[in-house]
Amino acid sequence: MDAIRKQLGIKNHSRSTKGKLVETLALQIPDAIQKIFTFFDVERYTIFKEISLSSKGLVRAEKFPPHKLKYFSVYGLAFPIKINNRLYLMAPIEVIEAFRQNDNENYLMHVNENTEMIQIAHGMLYFYGVIRFSKLVGLLGHYFNLDQIEENLPRILETLIHGDSYYARALPYEDYYCYSVIANPQRIIASQQAFPELDYYYFNKEDLIRVGSQSLFIPNTKEYRAFIKFLKQNWEVNNKDISDITRKLFLLIQTEPDRTEMFSQLLDSLEISSLTVIQQLWHLVIGIRDNIHLWGLKGHYLPLFHESELDFPVPGNVYDFDSKKHDSNRFGNKPIKDDELCPCGSGKEFKNCCGRNDK
């Protein structure tokens, strides 16, 4: 109960007896709950709408992740219970009544605006990884045409705090707003600080909402599609395997600046016996890296700063197999058969590509 009191901002009762605290909560919770509802987005609104329409004040909750269940219970809104071995989320009647008092057309418009605000903030995290709170608030003010940022600052911050408590996608780190999937935010911050004159790449509102509405958006680019096709051609993978590998690759590209180390960690997820496959995979990975917005560059593309550096030959360029400048350990010394894929990464058979020079 004391934890609920603290979350609801009910003060001067930290030393109250249990009976006194119950009495205080009964009197002050309705007003405190009304304030909590002002930070709801569409998902939380929909859940509580269903609860309010239920004759027993509950909703099935088996598919709710732990952090979402925790949000409702920590703020005293609803609590997980089991009935006939099924998990439900149940709200006290006082909370339901407070929600019903709020539930009107104007409130729903406010909820929709909160939804966009949270999704835009999460979209920024997807593209930037980390962003200063001051910059985040300034951009939100721009997207929502808020002339007086100072007046709207408390509402913006509290809406984001509640959204982050519910979705668990963002964490504060010093004066930065950080993507929760980043294990070492300082590394990304240091990368961004290396470009003090570079502003954050500008995205339109629709793009931010599109990616911010998903837990970890993976871009549907031709480079990613080629990578997924290559996985299916060379390994027995199901949809979950593909999802796990593409997620891992995305995070490695964003958080590991050493491309060799990045590639090495990706290979840990795959069993590879052919050096030709390794070489082709390398080109696919570099192609993805060069065509996504990078956190360390504040959302900009890498090729804007320098040409992509490849350890392997550029696909389609004839590979000089006799040149001593190439590391023989990289491709091995065994002869390449005509019907094998060309090591240059073109995807063609050797006899129809670089092998034509040997004929």
Please give the distance of CA 243 from its chain centroid, rounded to a whole number.
14
Say if residue 333 is in the same domain as residue 254.
yes
Say if residue 229 is in the same domain as residue 321.
yes
Say if residue 226 is in the same domain as residue 332.
yes
Say if residue 250 is in the same domain as residue 171.
no
What kind and span of H or E run contains 93?
helix 93-102
With bands split at pLDDT 50, 70 and 90, how would you rate the model's confidence at 4?
A: very low
Residues 343-350 have a mean pLDDT of: 54
pLDDT value, residue 337: 65
Share of the chain above pLDDT 90, in %: 62
As a whole number of angstroms, the distance between CA 30 and CA 200 comes to 42
Domain end call among 102, 123, 149: 102
Residue 233 CB: number of other CB atoms within 10 A? 8
Residues 331-351 have a mean pLDDT of: 54
More confident residue, 214 or 6: 214
More confident residue, 311 or 246: 246
Residue 271 in any domain: the answer is yes
What kind and span of H or E run contains 68?
helix 66-74
Say if residue 284 is in the same domain as residue 336.
yes
pLDDT value, residue 321: 39
Residue 43 in any domain: the answer is yes
Please give the residue range of the domain that contains residue 64.
2-102
Say if residue 40 is in the same domain as residue 140.
no
Say if residue 97 is in the same domain as residue 120.
no
Say if residue 186 is in the same domain as residue 266.
no
Residue 273 in any domain: the answer is yes
pLDDT value, residue 153: 86
Residue 208 in any domain: the answer is no
Q: What is the DSSP string of 24-40?
A: HHHHHHHHHHHHHHTT-
Q: Residue 150: give its domain's CATH number.
A: 1.10.10
What is the edge-to-edge ordering of all strands in the sheet holding 170-173? 130-132, 176-179, 170-173
Reported as a single tens digit per residue, the pLDDT across 249-282 is 999 999 998 888 898 899 988 888 788 898 899 9
Residue 183 in any domain: the answer is yes
Residue 74 in any domain: the answer is yes
The total number of structural domains in the chain stands at 3
pLDDT value, residue 354: 58
Residues 115-125 have a mean pLDDT of: 97
Say if residue 230 is in the same domain as residue 306.
yes
Tell me if residue 337 falls in helix, strand or coil: coil
Beta bridge partners of 104: none
Integer-rounded Cα radius of gyration of the chain:
27
Residue 305 in any domain: the answer is yes
**Mean pLDDT for the chain?**
83
Q: Phi first, then psi: what are they for 48, rounded to 5°?
A: -75, -30
